[in-house]
Structure 1
Amino acid sequence: MPKKTFAFVAAFMVQVFYGITFTFASDVIKGGFIKPFGFILLRVAGAGVLFWLFSFLGPKEKIDRKDYFTFFLGAVFGIAINMLCFFKGFEYTTPIHASVIMVVVPIIVLILSAIFLKEKVISTKIIGILLGLSGAVVLSFYGKSTADSTNIPLGNLLVFINAVSYSIYIIIIKKLTYKYHPLTFIKWLFLFGTILVFPFGFSQLSAVDWTSFSPYIFFEVGFVIVGATFATYLLNPLALRELKASTVTTFLYLQPVIAGIFAIIVGSDSLDLIKIVAAILIFAGVYLVSLNKVKKRE
């Protein structure tokens, strides 16, 4: 498979894993099996163990001492702030508000990429991002809201901080992908990330009653660790090695579509005209962005 084709497949699969995870994570957290911060610690620590176990599959690379600080920054923005703010924000705001705010990520990354990575911003990319944005907003506004949202302004602020933090993370690891294989640096990201989230999640994780878990709940937890964390954090850098940061993040618009399709399959949602139109807008936007040629690295 050509490298660029694999990069597109990797970027797409990241959103597939994230889209499915909305249902699984909701079952675990709202079912009272694991509280949000405890789930984050389990997710990060579990994926971290996997990255260290499988790191031997990557090439033997010597890490420059100065890059450990970059790894730490990647863990701060891509794991600690990103995950903690999103889960805490989701506790206060509604899914509709949260999903609308998250679609600003490709726009933030487009701006940051132009400033820090010197990526060229062309008209088809802007049109594609706007199409995807419109489709995601339409899909989000016609979603179902929750009645137990206690502090929407605070929740929205936390989700926005999460979106900005994730955007900064994408820029940070974009530079690392030029220098190291993903397995070389991601294991350090998750080691630092585990240390950072440990104080927040230890008490909640230690209070978990594992005997209350059914086999399906164990499967859902395992999927979040292996699929939505280990696989996604490995595939994203692989996609970023061949594609622009703004191109990779535009695939985020596929998340609500994939989440909706999975919800329909498991019987928790239904298909209607609005969702079809929104999906067409999103796929059209991603297609336009993917038309851009990858700038060759020196």
Structure 2
Amino acid sequence: MVSKFRLHTALFLVSLIYAATYSLAKDIMPHYMQPLGIVTLRIVGAALFFGILKQFVAPQERISGRADNLRAILSGVLGIGLNQLSFFAGLNLSTPINASLLQTISPIVVVLASALLLKDRITLPKVVGICLGAAGAAALILSRPSSGAVPQAALLGNLFLLVNATVFGLYLVVVAPLMRTYHAFTVLARIFLVGAVIAVPAGLPQAIRANYSSFPLYIWAEIGYMVFFLTILAYLLNNWALKYATPSLLGVYIYLQPVLAVLIAVATGKDTLTWDKAWQAALIFVGVWLVSKKPKPVPAANPPFAPAPTPD
């Protein structure tokens, strides 16, 4: 059994890595590099890393069967290609706080996708949660920017971020059977390769046009952070933690990430927290909490004994 300290450390590091990204990325784009150029560097670097590592860890394993191969392609399209392209395109036009809050609606998308694709039952609290989360997200998307951004550009950026949260939620549903069947590096190597096929043609021109000779040292460090910490380390830690974390524990860290992102954005002067964003965040958080809440099992008519609760 893995220690709770190691599990919490992994989950906290993943949340911190993602939270810092919202502010660090604003240093790079659009002045030094356009968003799709950053995505190209991230995906190419991760595809090479996981492709090489897979040859050492699981050299003989292959994704087999038509259904699993189609699932791997769809996972690469949703979780790598569209997910990363829409995230950086949206963050470039929106603000760190908006981006971090809109990311939290992914669990709502997971519930809807599970209901449609896996025929999971949606309870009344989940319906209420979906409505509240949707209302908070809609209010956030349509709100006027507080950072001096052009309203039309901020609206487009928020819509890109909504697409990002949606495709990532769908990706979690689609990729789950692959992660249960194959080694994680086998799956990651394949889906990043598929993602590279989508992202590189779109982002390579921006990556080539960047004036790398003008990059100061801290920009190189932040690009390295995007490639290694955000793309490689976060995926490794997240996949490891998902094997041991309970749904309730994962729910805690869903809420922690935007809190950390807000603190970092405000502390670094990248964004400001307003009362409007606070109540919009509250709607989203309550909605996600209701959606993620596990329904109580229906007790038997005459249970012989009451089972003891299991710790998280």
Q: TM-score, normalization: structure 2? A: 0.72
Write the distance in 1 (CA, Å) between the matches of 2:5 and 2:115: 24
**What letter corresponds to residue 236 of structure 2 in structure 1?**
L
Which residue in the other structure is 2:150 paired with?
148
Write the distance in 2 (CA, Å) between the matches of 1:99 and 1:24: 13
Counting only pairs closer than 5 Å after superposition, residues 193-212 of structure 1 correspond to structure 2 as 193-212=195-214
* Residue ranges of structure 1 left out of the alignment (5+ in a row): 294-298
Task: Give deviations 1:39-63, integer Å, cap 9, x for gaps.
Answer: 1111111111121232245345342
1:163 aligns with 2:165: yes
Structure with higher Rg: it is 2
Report the CA distance shift for 1:185/1:84 in structure 2 as closer, same or farther (over 3 A).
Answer: same
Counting only pairs closer than 5 Å after superposition, residues 2-13 of structure 1 correspond to structure 2 as 2=2, 9-13=9-13
Note the C-alpha offset of 1:137.
11
Which residue in the other structure is 1:42 paired with?
41
The answer as to whether partners of 2:21 and 2:226 remain within 8 angstroms in 1 is yes
The answer as to whether partners of 1:90 and 1:159 remain within 8 angstroms in 2 is yes
The answer as to whether partners of 2:23 and 2:265 remain within 8 angstroms in 1 is yes
Q: Which moved more, 1:213-222 or 1:53-62?
A: 53-62
**What letter corresponds to residue 162 of structure 2 in structure 1?**
F
Note the C-alpha offset of 1:134.
11
Q: Which moved more, 1:253-262 or 1:170-179?
A: 253-262
- Which of 211, 223, 235 lines up with 1:233 in the alignment? 235
Which residue in the other structure is 2:28 paired with?
28
**What letter corresponds to residue 74 of structure 1 in structure 2?**
S
Note the C-alpha offset of 1:206.
0.8
The answer as to whether partners of 2:83 and 2:164 remain within 8 angstroms in 1 is yes
Counting only pairs closer than 5 Å after superposition, residues 179-218 of structure 1 correspond to structure 2 as 179-218=181-220
Task: Give deviations 1:109-167, integer Å, cap 9, x for gaps.
Answer: 13334554577878999999999999999999899433234344443333222211110
Report the CA distance shift for 1:249/1:80 in structure 2 as closer, same or farther (over 3 A).
Answer: farther
Note the C-alpha offset of 1:208.
1.5
Q: How many residues align?
A: 290
The answer as to whether partners of 1:125 and 1:292 remain within 8 angstroms in 2 is no
Q: Which moved more, 1:191-200 or 1:230-239?
A: 230-239
Note the C-alpha offset of 1:101.
3.3
The answer as to whether partners of 1:94 and 1:149 remain within 8 angstroms in 2 is no
Task: Give deviations 1:2-49, integer Å, cap 9, x for gaps.
Answer: 27775554343322111011122111114x111111111111111111
Q: Which moved more, 1:270-279 or 1:1-10?
A: 270-279
Report the CA distance shift for 1:169/1:250 in structure 2 as closer, same or farther (over 3 A).
Answer: farther
Which residue in the other structure is 1:69 paired with?
70
**What letter corresponds to residue 203 of structure 2 in structure 1?**
G
Q: Which moved more, 1:229-238 or 1:7-16?
A: 7-16
Note the C-alpha offset of 1:256.
2.0
Report the CA distance shift for 1:112/1:72 in structure 2 as closer, same or farther (over 3 A).
Answer: same
Which residue in the other structure is 1:86 paired with?
87
The answer as to whether partners of 2:97 and 2:271 remain within 8 angstroms in 1 is no
Write the distance in 1 (CA, Å) between the matches of 2:121 and 2:94: 36
SS in 1 for 2:152: coil
SS in 2 for 1:49: helix
The answer as to whether partners of 2:22 and 2:265 remain within 8 angstroms in 1 is no
Report the CA distance shift for 1:238/1:132 in structure 2 as closer, same or farther (over 3 A).
Answer: farther
SS in 1 for 2:64: coil
The answer as to whether partners of 2:97 and 2:258 remain within 8 angstroms in 1 is no
Write the distance in 2 (CA, Å) between the matches of 1:4 and 1:117: 31
The answer as to whether partners of 1:113 and 1:246 remain within 8 angstroms in 2 is no
Which residue in the other structure is 2:308 paired with?
none
